Structure 1
Amino acid sequence: MSGEGAPVVHADGSGLRVAVVAARWHEEIMQGLLDGALRALADCQVADPVVLRVPGTFELPVAAARLARGGYDAVVALGVVIRGGTPHFDYVCSAATLGLTDVTTSTGVPVGFGVLTCDDEQQAYARSGLPGSQEDKGYESASAAVGTAVVLRDVLEGRA
């Protein structure tokens, strides 16, 4: 499983403004990712995260960009793309990855990458954080976004 060796992030995100933007495709898997992300934010003491739902994974970058430019300290992007019989998978995965990378590098706002790019639904379920899953990518991506935001905040405020 790809999550083997993943770091455990313990960050105090008190006072951070964090938004989660989640796609609607594959609703059950998405609910697992969203629940995991919200659990991670609660564990990091992030109060009142904003949750936005967009139609699909392709729409994540534009929503993340608006949020990052709107004063949020971190954004968590959640989506699922499952390979089909056409090149559509490759285009959506590439657009989401490059778009979210551009958001984080152009704004300086950490974006947690919780986009599952899977060959089949079984792989997505295994990473969704649902009961019986081996991994919880929603939790991991939210923890990473908050952990990065805290490190950047501490450096900019001279605490590191």
Structure 2
Amino acid sequence: MSIFAHQIRQKYLLVNMAIFEGNFQDTSNLRFALVIGRFNDLITNKLLSGCQDCLKRHGVDINPEGNQVDYAWVPGSFEVSLVAKKLALTGRYDAIICLGAVIRGDTPHFDYVCNEAAKGIASVGLNTGVPIVFGIVTTDTMQQALERAGIKSNLGWNYAMNALEMATLMKQIEK
């Protein structure tokens, strides 16, 4: 392709480009699922509270009896991806938020759980097309986990913001 043809093509692409960007306002018709690991529930309950606070402040009805958010509790972070996949395949959700906490111990178990949880959660999003938020806190100490779940900030809030943004972004792209 000549330089001139390349320049013309670039100008054409720029003129006909769309910009897609999620927002945090069009939330009344969105549906979310939260998958929460019970293991290290001191942390996961705090992440859940931060997540719920964010969703509520952005107009989402967080009541489990309502029609916008469903909650699924699993034994631990390793099991989160399986349930997230099952939920994603229903086609009912605009985004799924996966919450868990894995704190390093004295054995390599930490590495296996973290790696497989991350791979599993990533594959769910890629294989289903549903935005899946990785909200598994992985830390070396309980203190670090507590700092991420509320002492310094609550990452649960950030995970909900990511879900809101991705859900609204996907809706725009689908239009």
TM bucket normalised to smaller: 0.7 to 0.9
Q: What pairs with 1:1-150 in structure 2 (closer than 5 Å)?
A: 10-47=24-61, 48-71=68-91, 72-129=93-150, 133-150=151-168
Following the alignment from structure 1 to structure 2, what is the Cα–Cα distance between the partners of residues 119 and 11? 36
Following the alignment from structure 2 to structure 1, what is the Cα–Cα distance between the partners of residues 162 and 86? 20
TM-score, normalized by length of structure 1? 0.87
The unaligned stretches of length 5 or more in structure 1 are: 1-8
Question: How far 1:11 sits from its partner (Å)?
Answer: 4.2
The unaligned stretches of length 5 or more in structure 2 are: 1-22, 62-67
Contact 2:33 2:70 in 1 (8 A): yes
Whichever residue aligns with residue 65 of structure 1, its letter is K
Following the alignment from structure 1 to structure 2, what is the Cα–Cα distance between the partners of residues 46 and 74? 13
Q: Which digits, 9 at most, give the CA deviation of each residue in 1:51-71, with x for residues without a partner? A: 111000000000110111112
Whichever residue aligns with residue 56 of structure 1, its letter is G
Following the alignment from structure 2 to structure 1, what is the Cα–Cα distance between the partners of residues 172 and 86? 24
Contact 2:24 2:168 in 1 (8 A): no
Q: Which digits, 9 at most, give the CA deviation of each residue in 1:105-148, with x for residues without a partner? A: 1111111111000000000000002xxx1121111111101211
TM-score, normalized by length of structure 2? 0.80
Contact 1:11 1:147 in 2 (8 A): no
Question: How far 1:46 sits from its partner (Å)?
Answer: 2.3
Following the alignment from structure 1 to structure 2, what is the Cα–Cα distance between the partners of residues 11 and 88? 41
Percent of pairs identical after alignment?
A: 40
Following the alignment from structure 1 to structure 2, what is the Cα–Cα distance between the partners of residues 104 and 88? 25
Following the alignment from structure 1 to structure 2, what is the Cα–Cα distance between the partners of residues 114 and 137? 8
Following the alignment from structure 1 to structure 2, what is the Cα–Cα distance between the partners of residues 136 and 34? 9
Other structure's SS at 2:26 match: coil
Whichever residue aligns with residue 82 of structure 2, its letter is V
Aligned length: 146
